[in-house]
Amino acid sequence: MFEVLIVLFLIALNGLFSMSELAVVSARRTRMRALAGKGAWGARSALALAAEPGHFLSTVQIGITMIGVIAGAFSGATLGGKLTAWFVELGVGLVAAEWLGFGLVITAVTFLSIIFGELVPKQLALVQPERIACQVAPGMTLLAAIAWPAAWVLQVTTQTVFALLGFKTKSDDSVSQDEVRAMIAEAEQSGAIEASEKHMIAGVLRLGSRPVTGVMTPRTDVQWIDLTMGESELATLLAGISHSRLPACEGSIDAIAGVIQVRELLADLMAGRKLDLRAHLRQATVIPSTSDALDVLAKLRSADVPMALVHNEYGDFEGLVTPADLLETIAGSFRSHDDGEAEPHATERADGSWLLSGAMPADEMAEHLGFVLDSGRDYQTLAGFALGQLKRLPAVGETFEAFGWQFEIVDLDGRRIDKVIASRAPVRRAAKR
């Protein structure tokens, strides 16, 4: 009975090592840092072990290997011998008794070692990795210090083998946007965040990777005030304006003189004062079209007028950016009563295809349909994506295939691609020879 207890103790000790190994390795660094900041016992030790995985894993492997050897030798020498003698007393031949005795002991010890020394402890470590890592880290740190010479030899040998094979011993700890999106999707499925929160987080990631041309209002859609217009024309213009600020130009949108606050003009009209447009001019921030959206956000925070004018390398006006444009990327469009019913960028049809707006941002379209666009692309909308694929201005009804989807141009607004239908590209089988 005493020998059985020793074997069970060795199996349990092996399980402790296995559980400690997986808990420390799989524990998330961000959660461990948060626990360490709260003063959780063992959190700092767990972080220290995770920072040097080679030394820690060498220590654990020494313990597991030694326990396995001792458990096998001890169980065979004691329990195997006793079971062999018992079979001999029952009249079984010596050779057969030895096979039966040692075979049964090895089978039982192996089974218990796999279940209670490996599978159960490791699954427990996966369920609560941070909690278990904190609990076992102080003891593992002490053991690592005791076994330092042997662990150092194993670590150096392992690093040498990796170097000969051309591999790195340390993994890249950086997190890509795809991994962040995967974690966000997992959090939504588990109920940790709402679908609306997931949408906004995805919008923040999109904003971080977009150039300013991907969030600006293009010059063709910009409303502006002509400094040369008469008072009656100006009054008519202001009656239909829904913006609080407008660029003011000298006869042409390419000759921007500044920005005017619409409410200041309305105040003069209501007070019966003579309108002097130039007296209300304010200078807006001018930014190059190569700027990133996040850089523009920082400039708008410190600008006197929260509006930035976008110019290309030739000095031509391309569009403008306001805080509302940046917010729209994150939270979606906000519609006033004058705008009518909001038209979605993507609408699923009964046959499983999608009716898409040509103005839909290209990255949103790719994310919606499940593929990845080249980060170095020179277009920002679905219309630009279509032009890049066709290499010319399309006609209504033209189609092209890309990324496993078939795109059909179904509506043009002048020369602008207004509506596109995306459906799964048909599967073409190779012709038999």
Q: pLDDT digits over 157-210, tens only?
A: 877 887 888 776 555 555 666 667 777 777 777 777 787 787 788 888 888 788
CATH number at residue 318: 3.10.580.10
* pTM for this prediction: 0.56
Q: What is the mean pLDDT of residues 334-355?
A: 71
- Residue 407 in domain: yes
Same domain, 178 and 240: no
Q: Give 343's pLDDT tier (boundaries 50, 70, 90).
A: low
What pLDDT is stored for residue 144 in this prediction? 79
CATH number at residue 391: 3.30.465.10
Same domain, 87 and 116: yes
Same domain, 110 and 15: yes
- Residue 433 in domain: no
Task: Please give the Cα distance from 236 to 252 (Å, whole number).
Answer: 19
Q: Which residue has the tokens 């141009």?
A: 409
Structure tokens at 205: 């990631």
User: pLDDT per residue over 26-67, tens digit each?
Assistant: 887 777 888 888 888 888 888 888 777 777 788 888 888 888
pLDDT at residue 261 tops 70: yes
Is 319 or 109 the better-scoring residue by pLDDT? 319
User: pLDDT per residue over 62-110, tens digit each?
Assistant: 888 888 888 777 777 777 777 777 777 777 777 777 777 777 877 888 8
Task: Please give the Cα distance from 99 to 55 (Å, whole number).
Answer: 40
Q: What is the mean pLDDT of residues 266-291?
A: 85
Q: What order of strands is seen across the sheet that includes strand 217-218?
A: 217-218, 317-321, 308-311, 285-288
SS3 27: coil
Domain boundary residue, one of 165, 198, 229: 165
The single-letter code of the amino acid at 238 is L
Same domain, 142 and 222: no
Structure tokens at 150: 């042997």
Q: Which residue has the tokens 């995967």?
A: 182
